[in-house]
Structure 1
Amino acid sequence: MSAISSVLRLVSLAVLLAAAAPAAHAQGGGQGLGGGRKGQRLGQLENAKIAFITNRVSLTQEQAQKFWPLYNEFSARRRELNRSGRLLRRDVTEGMTDQQIRDTFNQAFATRQQELNLEKEYFDKFQKVISLRQVAQLFQAERDFTKEVIKRVAGAGGQAAVDTN
C-alpha cells in the first residue's frame, strides 16, 4: 500500500509541475496526445515521467521552474527527429533502386547525428539550470523510466499493470 501512496504522491507532484510549466502543452498544441483514452493514457504516462524524473534528479522548486520548459523544448525537438527517423526506416521498399536505398540510409544516419547533436546542445543548456550530477541523473532517469514502462507493459500480458500486493 505504501508503494501506491508513493506513486500517487509523485503523480500529484507531476500534475503540479505540469501546471507550472504550461509551455509543454502550448508547444504541442495538444497534437501529440491525441484524443480519448489514448490521449488520457499518454497524459498519465507523461505525468508519471515528470514525477519520476523530478524524484530521481531531486529538483528543487526553483530548478524545476527553469528546467521543465527547457526539457519540454528538448523533448519536442527530439520527438520530431525520432519521428523523421522512423519514417525514413519505413520507406525502404522492394521497388527501390540501390541508390535510393543508399540515400534513404544516409538520410537516416544524418537524422541520428542530429539527435546526438541535440543531446550535446541540451547537455550544455541543462547545466545552466541544474548541476552536472543532476544532468547525468536526468539521462539515466530517462533510460530507467523507459525500461520500467517496457517491463510493466510486457509484464501486463493484456492485464492491468497495477501491483495489488
Structure 2
Amino acid sequence: MNPFAAFFSIIAAPRRLALAGALLLAAGGHAQAQGPRQQLRAARAERLSQLDNARIAFFTSRLSLTQDQAQRFWPVYNEFITRRRALNRASRSLKREQIEGLTDQQIRENLTQTYATRQQELNLEKEYFDKFQKVLSLRQVAQLLAAERDFTKEVIKRVAGTPAMGAPE
C-alpha cells in the first residue's frame, strides 16, 4: 500500500476520527482566542507535522528500515534536513535580490556567494552520504536519494490535486 494512503487511512480510522474531531473542536475554541498571525503559525506547524509524519512513513516503507535502523537513521536525517534547509534559505535570499539596482561588483559578489552556497550544499550531501552509510546499507542510501525525489513529486502532485502514485485514475 502507498505510504501516503496508509498514513491518510490511519487518520481516517473511526476512533481516531472522533479523537481528531474532538481535538479540532478544542483547537477551534483556542484558535478563536489567538490572533490571525498565531492561527497561521499553528496551521503551518500542523501541516509541517503532517508532512513529516508522511515522510517518515514513506521513507520507512521505501527503504525497508528495520526498527534499529530507523532509530539510528532519523536523528541523522533530521540533522541533515535542518542544515540543508538553512543553506536553501541562504540561497533563496541571494536569488531574491533585484539585479537592476546593483553594480557589476555587487552582482559578481552575489553570484560568487550563490556558487559558494551551492558548493556548501554539495559538501553537506557528501558529508551525510558518509554518515548515512554508517546506519544504512549502500543500497538503502541510494534508495534514500530516489525516495527524496519521489516524496517531493508526490507532495507536489497532492498539492496540485493530481492523482497520487499507484492510485487509480
Normalised by the length of structure 1, the TM-score is 0.75
Q: What is the one-letter code of the residue matched to 1:76?
A: T
Which residue of the partner structure matches residue 115 of structure 2? 109
Partners of 1:136 and 1:44 in 2: CA distance:
25
Q: CA deviation at 1:98?
A: 1.0
Q: What is the one-letter code of the residue matched to 2:101?
A: G
Percent identity between the two aligned chains: 64
| 1:135–1:110 distance in 2 versus 1, CA, 3 Å | same
| 1:50–1:5 distance in 2 versus 1, CA, 3 Å | closer
2:62 is the alignment partner of 1:56: yes
Which residue of the partner structure matches residue 24 of structure 1? none
2:53 is the alignment partner of 1:42: no
Do 1:92 and 1:104's aligned partners in 2 also have CA atoms closer than 8 Å? no
State which structure, 1 or 2, has the greater radius of gyration over its C-alpha atoms: 2
Partners of 2:125 and 2:136 in 1: CA distance:
15
Which residue of the partner structure matches residue 6 of structure 2? 6
User: Where in structure 2 are the equivalents of 1:109-148 lying within 5 Å?
Assistant: 109-148=115-154
User: Where in structure 2 are the equivalents of 1:67-78 lying within 5 Å?
Assistant: 67-78=73-84
The superposition leaves residues 18-77 of structure 1 with CA deviations (integer Å, 9 ceiling, x where unpaired) of xxxxxxxxxxxxxxxx83111101110111011101110011000011111100110100
Quote the RMSD (CA, aligned, Å): 2.4
Q: Which runs of 4+ in 1 moved over 2 A?
A: 2-11
Do 1:67 and 1:130's aligned partners in 2 also have CA atoms closer than 8 Å? yes
Which residue of the partner structure matches residue 160 of structure 1? none
In structure 1, runs of 5+ residues without a counterpart are: 12-33, 157-162
| 1:65–1:10 distance in 2 versus 1, CA, 3 Å | farther
In structure 2, runs of 5+ residues without a counterpart are: 12-39
Q: What is the one-letter code of the residue matched to 2:93?
A: L
Q: What is the one-letter code of the residue matched to 1:57?
A: L
Do 1:66 and 1:129's aligned partners in 2 also have CA atoms closer than 8 Å? yes
2:102 is the alignment partner of 1:96: yes
Q: What is the one-letter code of the residue matched to 2:145?
A: F
SS in 2 for 1:72: helix
